Amino acid sequence: MRYVPRLAAALSGLALALGGVVAAAPAAHATPQACFYTVLEQHPGANPEVVERACLIGAGGTPEALRACYFELRRDYVPAMIAYEACRRAPEGT
């Protein structure tokens, strides 16, 4: 009977710890290279030259750079969610 509260506490602590890791993960991988591989892994038909150019544009980190990166990828028919997520990962040092 004492194991139920201990198990609940352990699972709660684990959930909080994993939540912190997940929240920190995008910032740990924010580089133009992460942007590039995000697109090519999720949309292999994308033109690598267009993807590279878009990710380098998005590396600026400003809202305008994100928008320009996104529209560059959308012009190459990269799905919207993939383009947005990749461009969010493009800024260096963020």
d(CA 60, CA 62): 6
Going by pLDDT thresholds of 50, 70 and 90, the confidence category of residue 31 is confident
State yes or no: pLDDT of 28 exceeds 90. Answer: no
Q: Check if the beta carbon of residue 86 is closer than 8 Å to that of residue 55.
A: yes
| Tens-digit pLDDT profile for residues 44-80 | 999 999 999 999 999 999 999 999 999 999 999 999 9
Q: Based on the number of CB atoms within 10 Å of its own CB, is 53 exposed (0-12), middle (13-18) or buried (19 or more)?
A: middle
CA 44 remoteness from chain centre: 17
Helices (H), 29-94: 32-42, 48-58, 63-75, 80-88
